[in-house]
Amino acid sequence: MVVVGIVFRHLSLKPSILKEYAKLGADMIPAPPQRDLVSYVKKPNSDGDAGGQEDSIFLEDESGRILLDFSGLEGEAAEKSKYLVSGMIVAIRGRPEKLGVLLVRDICRAGLPTRSAPCQEVPICDEDRFVCILSGLNFGNADVNPLAIDLVTEFIKTNLGDSKFQKWGSTIVRLIVAGKLINASENPDIQNLRELDATLVSIASSIPIDLVPGDGDPTNFLLPQQPINKCLLPSSSRFKTLRRAPNPYEAMIGGRRFLGTGGQNVEDFLRYVNDRRDSEGAEKILSVLEEMIRSRHLAPTAPDTLASYPFYESDPFIIDRCPDVFFAGSQPQFGTKVVEEGDRRVRIISVPDFYRTHQIVLVNLRNLNCELVDFVVDFEKV
């Protein structure tokens, strides 16, 4: 039999404001649920036992819910089950094992979204033109190296390196700054915004910029995040080349559709993944991005564990048109792969934090090839 429904994962470590009230009593105000957990999944002890109440996965709709048993899965199907998170809509093939339990044989996602009609007004480039994606400037963080930021700025403005390097920089047609623009702090410093503003002014005089907020940036906390107010960036906002974009972000550039986020959706998704041996690796992040695009949803865990506005009639996170490039900013490592299905092809990218890695990503609009540029600032290792 085949059952279609919404996945719900019962995880004992998942934050719950109701649990906090139950512990403290009706006359006390609990602290907000813990948000800095590395994982919602229990780690097994030396005997392989996670202890306490078991974590469970259910499939539900308006009529009820059924417990899913994945013990019979092997190979690719078993790998798929590791990436089931609350909020995903899937079809499950299996057979009833006992009352209220379905023995799973296979899992089916919606697949890549349909391809929208090509833009006739802006044809795809027939020569090399690049979109630069930069994430995690994090002004105000102690690990930020101002020299690395200066090098990137000069590279984009074609003032860095030899003639070959300058020619490469001259082919950049747009800069996307995605997430973690300034250091998140309980005591925000206006100087961090001034430094961001000055950097944007320097670049906006050369190429268009799309500015996408992320975790800890000065905009609303709940997704979707609104563009940063122009009053916070008084100098750079005067440039018509600066577009203050929302998060999630979508744009047509050179006939290619770009879709991306500041990275909060990936971070929360990873907390559900029960195989975390390489949780910081790029392959894990790319697998999460692939699950999102194949499930046609940007933030399946919202609003359960990822804060978002409550939407009643429509869901703004549904991916109804297949992008050419799908990326997430503020990630620990760079990674990229191509996801294909039928005539649809998507380049997915894990964009690393610049303040940690000093790396930027260049996407070729002609063939969607992806290149990593590393700005070395430790002269002892050069």
What does the pLDDT look like over 189-236, one tens digit per residue? 889 999 999 999 999 999 999 999 999 999 999 999 999 999 999 999
Cα(206)–Cα(204) distance, integer angstroms: 5
**Counting Cβ atoms within 10 Å, is residue 190 exposed (0-12), middle (13-18) or buried (19+)?**
exposed
> Given a cut of 70, is residue 302 above it in pLDDT?
yes
130-381 matches 2-108 in CATH topology = no
Residue 71 has pLDDT above 80, yes or no: yes
CA distance 44 to 349: 32
Rounded Cα distance between 216 and 202, Å, is 24
Tokens of 215: 């975790």
Q: Which CATH number fits domain 130-381: 3.30.70.360, 3.60.21.50, 3.40.1410.10, 3.40.190.10?
A: 3.60.21.50
Calculate ∠ Cα 322-325-326, nearest 5°. 80
Q: Report the candidate in 180, 205, 9 with the shortest Cα–Cα distance to residue 90.
A: 9
**Per-residue model confidence as pLDDT tens digits over 26-51:** 555 555 555 555 566 665 444 444 43
- Nearest 5°: CA angle at 220, between 257 and 181? 65
Amino acid at 148: A
Its pTM surpasses 0.75: yes
With a cut of 90, say whether residue 345 has pLDDT above it.
Answer: yes
Q: What are the boundaries of each domain within the chain?
A: 2-108, 130-381
Q: Which CATH number fits domain 2-108: 2.40.50, 3.40.5, 2.60.40, 3.40.50?
A: 2.40.50
